[in-house]
Structure formats: C-alpha cells, structure tokens
Structure 1
Amino acid sequence: MCASTHWLASATAQSVLERGGNAFDAATAGAFVLHVAEPHLNGPGGDLVAVLATAADTSPFVLAGQGHAPRGATIEHFLGEGLDHVPGAGALAAAVPGAVDSWLWLLAELGTWELSDVLAYAIGYAERGVPVAPQLARVLATVEGLFREHWPTSYALWMPEGRVPQPYTTLVNATYARTLHRLAAAGTGATRTARIHSARDTWRTGFVAAAVAEFAAVPHRHSSGGDHAGVITAADFADFAPVLEPAVTAQFRRTTVAKAGLWSQGPVLLQALTLLDHFDDEQINPSTALGIHTITEAVKLAMADREAYYGHLAPEDAESVVRRLLSPRYSKERAHLIGEVASTEFRPGDIGIAPYTPPLLPRRPAHQAAGVGEPTVQQTGETRGDTCHIDVVDRWGNIISATPSGGWLQSSPAVPELGFSLGTRLQMAWLDPAAPSRLAPGKRPRTTLSPTLLLRDGTPVAALGTPGGDQQDQWQLQYLVRTLALGLAPQEAIDAPAFHTTAVVSSFWPRTWAPGGLVVEDRVGDAVIAELAERGHEVTVSGPWSQGRLSVVTRDPGTGVLQAAANPRGAQGYAVGR
C-alpha cells in the first residue's frame, strides 16, 4: 500500500511494489517523481525527514535528511547584510540540500533496486512532462513578476513560452532529467550498494555541488527586498551525511507514537498527546466546540515549549530536555492550565532550564513577499506554498512515512545547469545567540517536517503525515484523536472537518504570530463556531475542504491486512494498493 500527496507519486510507488521492490525502493522512486510533479512544493535542493521500521527490526528510526547550515551561515554575516531575520526566499537562506543524498542512502542501505531503475520514473516524467495542477499554475502566476524581473533563470525554466503555464497543460523539465541521467551514469562499482554510494559521491562532490556554489554566489533578490549572495559552497555539500537515529516516542491510548527529535517540531505532537491523555474522549472530540478548544489549548502550550526549548542540541542535552517535556508529572501540570476560555499568552513551561522567548511580532495578513512558499496556509485557509508527503508499507512489513520539502521553485532562483532551486530552511533559525534554534554553521535548522509512525506492542501499525508547516502536527493530532480515541476509520478521520491555531510563533519568515487565532473549516457548523467565539477564540472560517493533506498506510500485524487513505482536498492526493 502507498499513499501520497500526488497521484503520480502514488502510482510510481505502487508500480515498484508490483514489480517486486520493497517499501524503501518504492518511497524513493515516488519521492523523485514528487520533484517533478509538485515542483512548487518540494525539490532536489530541499530536505527530508522520514520515520521508518524494517521487517527485520521493528524499532522506529528517523532518517534525518535535514541539511545543516553552511560554514558561512553565521549570525554575524546575516547582521552584516543588514538583516534581522533570515529571509524566506533567496539562496542566502539555503541549508545544505539533504533530500537527494538521503534518498540515495536509504536506497543503498535498505532498498533492493538499482538506482537507474528507481530514477527512470522521474526521468520519464521530466522529459515527457506532467500535467500542471491548478495549484501549481496559481503559484507560478504569483511569482511571474519576480521571475521576469529578478530571477531570469527561473523564468526561462518554468515559463519557457514567456507566459505562465495554464492548468492541465504539460510542463517538462528536460534540465532536471539530464541531471538525473548524469547522476545515474555516475553510479559505478562492483555491487548495487557501491554503485549507489558512487552516485552519492557525485552529488556531494561533483557537478551538482560545483554548479550550486557558483550560481548561488551571484547576488540576487531575496524576500527581504534586497539583493544578496548565498554563502553555500561545494565544501558544504561534502560536509553533509544523512543520519539514522532512534525515534522519540510517547504513549497515547495504548499506542506508541514515534517522531523525530528536538531538531524538528515532532515532539510537539507527543507533548500535545500526553496532555490530552489526561482528558476523557468527550472532552477531546474534534467535532465539538469543547474538543476543538481543548485540543487547541494543548497545541498552544506545546508550541510555546517548542520556541522555548527546541533546537539542534547536543545529544545528551536533547535527551534531557525531551525526558522533562514528556514526563507524566509535567504533562499533568500543563494539562491543568487548560481552562474554559482561550489563552492569548505565550506560556512555556518550567523544566528547570531558562526558557527562550522569541520576538512576539503581530501577524500582518497583508504582508506578503513574492517567492515566499511557506507558511502553507494563511488565516483565510488559502494555500500558497506547501510540502509533500508519501507513506509506503510492503508485503513483508517494511514501512516508511516521509515528508520531503523545501527547494520549491519559488524558494530561490533556479540553477540553470541543474533544473532546480535551493531551499530556504534556514529561515527557521533565529539570529539570536540565546535561542536554542539559533543559526550556526553545521547546525540543522529546526524543521517543521514531521512524519509519524504508530506502533502497538512494539510492532508498526501505521505510517502517516501531512504537509502544512506549523500545522503538520496539529492536523495529525486531530487524526490520532479521531482514530485512537474515538475509533474512526483512517479515511473517515482524514475527511472530517479540520482546524488549526495561529497562536504559534511562525517558523517562516517574517516569524510573526497571531495570539488567539483559530482557523476552522466551515463544515464544523455554525453552532460550534459560535461557541468557540464565546470561549474567546478569534475564529476565521475557511472553505469546507481547505485544511490538511493527510495520508496514511496501515498494517494489521495479526492478519497482515494492509490499508491506505489519502486526503480528498485539492483532488490530488491518492491512496493505492492491492
């Protein structure tokens, strides 16, 4: 079974499974197709976080494909450029690309297919073209002026006929196809694994790194309104290596939830679940005003801790912080803070460490810079940038939930020799030495990418995730409450009305927040909306099918039965299997 945010990626992954590949072969092939099918949502210059388990070892592990800050990405350099925040668009905000190298590592170490066979799907779509989804056309329309005036390489790549491609026309990327051909041809060696690692070396030390470094060094327009050169070099590429590390886990309703560590926002979901475990099912039902209120207030508390304590810490420090944040005593103390009315305060907890308080800048809905991809959902519910997701489980029990993102076409100018852009993940780092998620060379920026794995009695039973920036764990939280506490089927839980709070310090430039803000799909009903307003929430009503792009695959360890579900919003996600 597989499910993803685009039908072509799901079809690709299923094709690999049908031809005997395992879940890791399938996920890798599907991920490269996502580069081509959803270039406005992810790209080869971006990053990746995955949670996985193998049939041989059911322990949950995290594939950390989040690139680190380049050697020249210092707070002093950014301040010297006249910046008080890392820009949201432009190569100065680029972390070292981690997605491609991480997918290739996964294929080499846990897959079974040859690289050329895995890449053939993406190469075919890049050469022959993919249909322009309406959202892709809308994104291109918003950045047409930026591309034409300031990013000519992007204009040439994405608007080859001198105009924005129309919905349902065909878009090709022959340049990226050539890049993949070169990468596949670079795979030499006596074994399959050796050949893939040889291609990895070419990505990290060969033509890709050289082209990126040369192009990024040329000043170009950033979302800050000024022109800056990037600081990424070829040596920075060589510094990166994906890491497979144990997942962080917590229990909710007798199910183990596995997430990435404090360098992601993953523990936010775990914290919120441990808080909600102190309430009965009726109090946390996401279809009621009381349930929406309780869940929202739990998220606010967890997100405040995210700003106060999360970051790429030393392993021993991260372990200590996570242990304190997830302790039963702490979660009970935090649960008692949830009252009858909405809080508009920034309330990190006391874990014996001085909490960091970020600048609490009011959100200005009209503030928009061309090229800024995230945050994914505005207060109106309108989507403008985003992320991708793919889940796969195979007949043997290998399972993976992966969230690739960054490097979308509107993040920075396209590198003309390669056919893709760099990402802007450094915008999640603060230019403040006191912040746990401060900018520093070699440190991962605290990413919002947050896939999830579920286990029962030590055996994986589900892989799930969603795009959505700061909303990723909020939407997954609602899914988990509906399935684990209320007993809904996966598709029912995905289809149910969604909501999210904006009382979160945004992870994306210009790092604002909107205390008290709550966005709900209008399908929750007028009575629920009215009660939420009475409780003090500043409610914005979005369209009926406007929030979340969840997908999931499941496996019953007793029967071996597989299931999958995908989000109907946008008519783009797809679940498939047999």
Structure 2
Amino acid sequence: MTATDAAPLTRPDLVGSFGMTASTHWVSTAVAQSVLERGGNAFDAVVAAGFVMHVVEPHLNGPGGDLVALLAPAGGDVRVVSGQGPAPRRATIEHYRSLGLDSVPGSGALAAAVPGAVEAWLWMLREHGTWDVADVLEYAVHYADVGQPLAPQASAVIETMAPHFVEHWPTSADQWLTGGRVPAPGDVVAIPAYAATLRRLLAAAGRGDRASRIEAVGREWRTGFVAHAVESAAAQTQRHSNGHDYAGVIDAADLAALEIRAEVPQTFDFRGATVCKAAFWSQGPVLLQALAILDNFDGPDLDPGTERGAHTIIEALKLAMADRDAFYGEAYAAADLRRLLTPEYAKTRAALIAEEASAEWRPGVLEHLAAYTPPLHTADPAASGIGTGEPTVRTTGETRGDTVHLDVVDRWGNMVSATPSGGWLQSNPTIPELGFCLGTRLQMTWLDERSPAALMPGRRPRTTLSPTILRHGGTTTTALGSPGGDQQDQWQLLYLLRTIVGGRTPQEAIDAPMFHTTAATQSFWPREWTPRGVVVEQRLGPDVIAGLRRRGHEVTVSGPWSLGRLSTVARDPRTGLVSAAANPRGEQGYAAGR
C-alpha cells in the first residue's frame, strides 16, 4: 500500500451474516435495511429505498428520471434492467434544428427522455420481489408527507436556482421556496404533491394478487393521470438552458409505449473476477475496456497511489473514453462492438500508452464501423448554465453534487446494484399536480446523424449510469457503483484495482484518494473536452501530483475529500458472510447491516 493510501479508515468494513445495504444517503440505507429486517428480499429493499431517494435527495434524482440496475438473483444469472427511457417519438434532429438549435439544451422539456425510473422499480418488484406495492411505497409516502431535514447541498442547489424559479419556473418556486425563502440546511421539507401522486397510483392497484396490483400501478403511471400531466406540462412554452423558450415534444403516448428491458450484461474477466456491466447503450463497457487495456500491465503500473500507476490508468481511461465517444450508442449492434473488449484489441490500445500524457483524441479502428468524431470543445471554466448538466464534478474540480446509488445483498444471496438519476429539481419546471419534474437525459445525444449516439425517436440516449456486479467462479460476490456522470466508471476502476490487484478492503479502497480524467467529450452540457485534463484529490500527494504534471498532465487539485461516491455490498460464497462499505465524502452515504 502506498503512503497516500495508508490513512486510517473513516468507517469500519461491515461484516455480518444477515443482510447488508449501502447507498449515497443514510435514510435510504436505513429504509432498505428495514425491509430486510421485516422479511423482504434485496429487491423489495432496493425498490423501497429507491422511491425514498426521490424525497431525500430531490436535487440528485426524481420520479421523472431514469435508472440502470444490475440484478443477481441467488443462484441465477446477472441481468441488466434498463430504466433508461428513449427519446420521444417527436424528438427528431430535424425538429430541434428547425428551432435553431445545434445541440439539445441542458435543461427544459426538450431535453426530457421518457421517464423510466418508476417503471423499472415496479418491474423489479413484480419480477423479483415478494412484497405488495403498498408496503414498499409506504416509506416514500411517509417521507413525502412529513418531510426530511434538507441536506446542505440540496439547500445550496435551491438557492442557486431560486431566481430562475421565481422568474421562469414559478411552479418550482411554489414547491421549493418556503414563503419565497430558500429553505436552510436542516429545514424539514415535505413534498405533499408527490405523496398524493403515490397515493393515487396505489388507489389504482385494485384488489388483485401482488403481481396484478403492481402492474395496475404501472399502467396508471403509463396511461393515466401521470402521463396526461406530463404531456400537458411539456406542451407549455418554458425557459431552457440556452435562455430561449420552447415547448417540449414528449406526450402521453410516449409513456404508454415504454417497455422495461432485462438484458444480458457485457462482461470481462480480470484477474479472477468477471466484471458485469450494461451494454454499449451505456458507458458501462468503458470500465471493461480500461480493465482489458490494463491487463497488459503489472506491478506499479496498476497502483493508483503512484505517479507511474496514476499515469498509466489515466492514459488507459482516455483511450477507452475515446472509443465510447466514437462507437457507443444504439446505432451499432452490441455484437459488432464486442471486439472492443477482446484481448487482441486491448493489446493494440495498451501499446499506445507512452511515458508522456497524450493530448490527442485517439479512438481505435473497428472493421465496417465508422468512428464518429464529436465536436472537441476545449473546456471553459467560466461556462455555466442554470439547471444544466448532471450535478457532478466540473472540469475545474468544483463539486456540483452527484446522482444517487444503492446496493443491497440479503440473507439468501440475492444482490442488486442500482444507479438512479435524472429528474432532479433543477432540470425542468415542477409539474404541480405530480410534485416532480421531467429529466434531461436527451442532452447526451447529438444532433448529428453520423453519431452512434444521435438523437432518434425511440432510441435510448447513451447514459452515464453504470452500476457493476462482480462474479467469481460463476457466483455473484459483489455489487458496487458510484454517482458522478463521466466519472462513474473511472472511480470504479480505481476501486477494482485497489481491491482485486492491491488487496485493499472495500472501505480502504473507497477512502483512498480518487482522480479522473477530463480528456473525453463530457456527456453533459456544455460538452467540454480537456485534452490533458486530470482532476485529483489533494490527498493523492504532492509528489504524485508533481510527477503527473512533469508527464504533461494538466492537473486540477480538488479538495482532499471531494471525488468519488462509491458504495458496495458483497457476499463470500465460501462462508455466506455478507459485507458492506460506503463513501464518507459529503457525510450522507452510509452502509448498514448485520
């Protein structure tokens, strides 16, 4: 272990024999553990906690957003659940260009994909849970009714958005400002309109069996009052991030057409672990590609706490991210993109890593597939936009927040890793009768037909949401993930190298100094690219930071505890013991269990 990684742990590694939960907010962790204690399984627990996340971290996710989850039923295969809704049927490049746009705005109804999070949670509950939908949603109804003390970051987001709310999004001002005042950290904030929405959905459940009741709630969401309220709200002209006013294109028919998909994951075997990720419609294979490239290295090259290791890891990530920008998306079949994960391809990529930092954007070559070159806009530290982007870490190192993440393992060995996001309170005007707003995932698409991630009706935008599951010898052992937009797989890579190669415990790996590269086209507005950019936590150490700069990296030093939001749960198949660890940064994430 390097000196920079050797600080005392902020939290213990939790180990028990019953069940473990971990998330980016302690209330959701407590809710998930409560479900386990009351006899529910991991899927009941994660769904209950997921709906609670809408209430306790509304600046980071919401019912109008999306999610990606990896499910591993005990003794079964890993499956990816895509709660990433597609572009609406009227969301065409031609329409957006007719409005004078050359990119999808970062906030406003034109950026809204079809909401997929709620339907994905309900699908998980119906297919793999055991509880009735009313029992699962009871927790979220409670918190939406009575409120929850507002976290400092949520208060700061509302304060930033307040003038915009008052001038342009009055329904959001009505919901988030208390008598015209920004609620202070610690103020109890309720969302009664969302509680009413959940009650109306439950009223539609009827008196059938468990599965039919869950399906009835989903049907009411897709075709009933929620869908019609979404259509009505989106049809109204509203202010977007570029300072202009437009109506949206999403309507009730788009919600009615949504189908939740369960898919086979993409995998890569690395040093005894099979790493499972969502396919190339997400950025998940970036982690697999980076591992494949780094599998050609050993020793100090794989130690994130050294100058040599950090440099090698950064350069591998830049190559994997370049392939993401060139090839990932639903335009190309996953079978055609699998070559990106082969040892032969990875070896050619590894050979490009030199002693100096690269300043080039270097995608690889795939036979019969055109590599798309996105506009490479150099980062502008002054760039900003009200409500835009994912609330994550800017290229300058400034923290804007995160999305959310949850992991659960139960006593039977069921395991789930889920990353919900989108629909945060700053993305769109609040729909008053629903108590939430739409998301902005379409900003990740391109208004360029040549891009494999081009905007197209019915096509999923390429999402950054990227949970992970590990298997050993055909048995699921670990679920992990992190918020953080383009950084999600980068921070997870450091975790895997520290645990699989370095032998650190989960909490040691989470606590260790984090870094990431910004030498990729950022997925969120304003789509910046910093050719040699690297953001590091101060704790990485002056020697490592100076060494990276000598190699030509443009290093931004962020706060000592500012990067990375990882959490994880695990199960040892030899002993049946379960474990968990969570991120201390921001003082919101916690693990629990016994």
* Matching residue within 514, 517, 528 for 2:533: 517
* Matching residue within 358, 364, 371 for 1:343: 358
* Matching residue within 216, 228, 238 for 1:210: 228
* Matching residue within 222, 235, 255 for 2:273: 255
Aligned equivalents of 1:507, 1:373: Cα separation in 2? 8
Change (3 A) 1:524 1:137: same
- Secondary structure of 2:500's counterpart equals helix
Tell me which residue corresponds to 1:530. 546
Tell me which residue corresponds to 1:479. 495
Deviations 1:184-232 (A, max 9, x none): 1111242100110011000000000000100110011100110011100
* Matching residue within 23, 28, 36 for 1:9: 28
Gaps of at least 5 residues in structure 1 are none
Tell me which residue corresponds to 2:112. 94
Gaps of at least 5 residues in structure 2 are 1-19
Aligned-pair CA distance for 1:443: 0.1
Letter in 2 for 1:283: D
Aligned equivalents of 1:105, 1:217: Cα separation in 2? 28
- Count of aligned positions: 574
Deviations 1:433-466 (A, max 9, x none): 0000000000000000000000001101100000
Aligned equivalents of 1:222, 1:487: Cα separation in 2? 48
Change (3 A) 1:385 1:372: farther
Aligned equivalents of 2:299, 2:265: Cα separation in 1? 27
Aligned equivalents of 2:371, 2:91: Cα separation in 1? 25
Say if 2:348 is the partner of 1:329.
no
Tell me which residue corresponds to 1:276. 294
The question of whether the paired residues in 1 share the 8 Å contact of 2:60 and 2:391 is answered with no
Aligned equivalents of 1:392, 1:188: Cα separation in 2? 30
Aligned-pair CA distance for 1:313: 3.5
The question of whether the paired residues in 2 share the 8 Å contact of 1:257 and 1:452 is answered with yes
Tell me which residue corresponds to 1:264. 282
Tell me which residue corresponds to 2:584. 568
Say if 2:44 is the partner of 1:25.
yes
Aligned-pair CA distance for 1:375: 5.5
Letter in 1 for 2:425: L
Change (3 A) 1:431 1:375: farther
Letter in 1 for 2:261: V
Deviations 1:123-167 (A, max 9, x none): 111110111101101111111111010000000001132111100
Aligned equivalents of 1:216, 1:301: Cα separation in 2? 39
Aligned equivalents of 2:540, 2:128: Cα separation in 1? 43
Deviations 1:64-120 (A, max 9, x none): 110000011000010011110101100110000000011011101100001111111
- Secondary structure of 1:52's counterpart equals strand
The question of whether the paired residues in 1 share the 8 Å contact of 2:408 and 2:417 is answered with yes
Aligned equivalents of 1:503, 1:272: Cα separation in 2? 14
Deviations 1:211-255 (A, max 9, x none): 010011001110011001110000000010110011100011110
Tell me which residue corresponds to 1:305. 323
Percent of aligned pairs with the same amino acid: 63
The question of whether the paired residues in 1 share the 8 Å contact of 2:379 and 2:395 is answered with no
Tell me which residue corresponds to 2:65. 46
Aligned-pair CA distance for 1:380: 3.4
Aligned equivalents of 2:380, 2:374: Cα separation in 1? 17
Aligned equivalents of 1:517, 1:91: Cα separation in 2? 32
Tell me which residue corresponds to 1:228. 246
Aligned equivalents of 2:194, 2:99: Cα separation in 1? 32
* Matching residue within 99, 109, 119 for 1:81: 99
Aligned equivalents of 1:290, 1:116: Cα separation in 2? 54
Change (3 A) 1:373 1:361: closer
Q: CA RMSD in A?
A: 0.8
Letter in 1 for 2:34: S
Aligned equivalents of 2:178, 2:152: Cα separation in 1? 18
Deviations 1:501-554 (A, max 9, x none): 110101011212111000110101111111000000001000000001100001
Could you tell which deviates more after superposition, 346-355 or 3-12? 346-355
